C-alpha cells in the first residue's frame, strides 16, 4: 500500500514559492547594489541568502510538494522533478527534526548538492483522506533509527522517550498516592 502526502497548497505557496520568488527578485537587486557599491555589506549578505534560497528552491528542489511511501520505495516530488529511492537501496537516512512543527531536514544516502537533501514539512502535509503527515514524520525517524541505531540523535530521542514515559508513570503514582492519603484523612475524620 502506498501512502501519499501532499503539502497544503496555501502553506506551500507561502512557505516555499513566495520566499523563492522574493529571493529570485533580490538576487539581481543585490548584484546591482554591489556593482554600484551601495550598502555593500548588506548587499553581500542579501546576495548570499538569495542565492542559497533560489538554489535550494528552484535548482536542487529541496522542498517536496508531494511525498509517497510504499513498501518498496520513497518518492519525493518538487517542481516537476521526481526523486525515487528504493527502500532497499537507502543505506543512510539522516534526519534533523523540528518536533514542534513536525518538519524534518533529511539527507538520503548522505545527500548531494542537487539531489538527496530535502526540507519536508510533515506537519503541513496531508493524505488524500485529510490526515496530517505524522506517519511520514515517524517513518523518517524510525528509518533513521533502524539504519543507524548508534546515531547520537537517535539515542537522544530514545532517552527522551524513556524520560517522558517515566515522568508520566511517576505522575500517575503521585496522583494515586494523593488519592490514598485523601481517603485516609476522610476515614480518620469519620472516626472522630
Is position 171 within any domain?
Answer: no
For 144, the grid coordinates are 533513521
What is the 3 state secondary structure string of the chain?
Answer: CCEEEEECHHHHHHHHHHHHHHHHHHHHHHHHHHHCCCCHHHHHHHHHHHHHHHHHHHHCCCCCCEEEECCCEEEEEECCEEEEEEHHHCCCEEEEEECCCCEEEEEECCCCCCCCEEEECHHHEECCCCCECHHHHHHHHHHHHHHCCCCHHHHHHHHHHHHHHHHHHHHHHHHHHHHHHHHHHHHHHHHC
Residue 192's pLDDT band, with cuts at 50, 70 and 90, is: low
- Beta-carbon contacts of residue 69 (< 8 Å; ≥ 6 apart): 2, 3, 5, 75, 136, 139
Least confident of 43-52, 62-71, 126-135, 169-178: 169-178
The tens digit of pLDDT for each residue in 53-109 reads 999 999 999 999 999 999 899 999 999 999 999 999 999 988 888 878 889 999 998
Is position 76 within any domain?
Answer: yes
Averaged pLDDT, 152-175: 75
Number of domains in the chain: 1
Is position 188 within any domain?
Answer: no
Torsion of CA 117, 122, 124, 128, to 10 degrees: 110
Please state at what angle helix 152-191 crosses helix 134-147, rounded to 10 degrees: 120
Q: Domain of residue 29: give its range.
A: 3-147
Is position 111 within any domain?
Answer: yes
Is position 166 within any domain?
Answer: no
Report whether pLDDT(165) > 60: yes
Is position 115 within any domain?
Answer: yes
Is position 170 within any domain?
Answer: no
Averaged pLDDT, 121-140: 89
Give the C-alpha separation, 26 to 32, whole Å. Answer: 10
Is position 161 within any domain?
Answer: no
Amino acid at each position: 500500500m502506498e501512502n501519499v502526502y501532499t503539502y497544503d497548497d496555501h502553506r506551500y505557496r507561502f512557505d516555499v514559492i513566495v520566499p523563492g520568488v522574493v529571493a529570485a527578485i533580490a538576487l539581481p537587486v543585490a548584484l546591482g547594489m554591489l556593482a554600484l557599491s551601495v550598502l555593500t555589506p548588506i548587499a553581500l549578505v542579501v546576495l548570499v541568502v538569495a542565492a542559497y534560497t533560489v538554489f535550494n528552491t528552484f535548482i536542487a528542489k529541496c522542498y517536496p510538494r508531494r511525498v509517497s511511501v510504499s513498501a518498496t520505495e520513497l518518492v519525493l516530488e518538487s517542481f516537476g522533478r521526481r526523486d525515487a529511492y528504493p527502500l532497499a537501496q537507502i543505506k543512510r537516512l539522516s534526519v534533523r527534526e523540528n518536533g514542534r512543527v513536525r518538519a524534518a531536514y533529511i539527507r538520503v544516502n548522505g545527500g548531494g548538492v542537487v539531489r538527496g537533501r530535502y526540507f519536508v514539512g510533515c506537519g503541513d502535509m496531508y493524505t488524500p483522506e485529510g490526515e496530517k503527515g505524522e506517519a511520514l514524520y515517524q517513518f523518517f525517524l524510525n528509518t533513521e533509527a533502524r539504519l543507524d541505531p548508534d546515531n547520537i540523535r537517535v539515542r537522544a530521542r530514545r532517552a527522551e522517550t524513556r524520560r517522558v514515559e517515566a515522568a508520566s508513570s511517576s505522575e500517575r503514582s503521585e496522583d494515586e498516592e494523593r488519592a490514598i492519603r485523601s481517603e485516609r484523612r476522610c476515614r480518620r475524620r469519620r472516626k472522630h
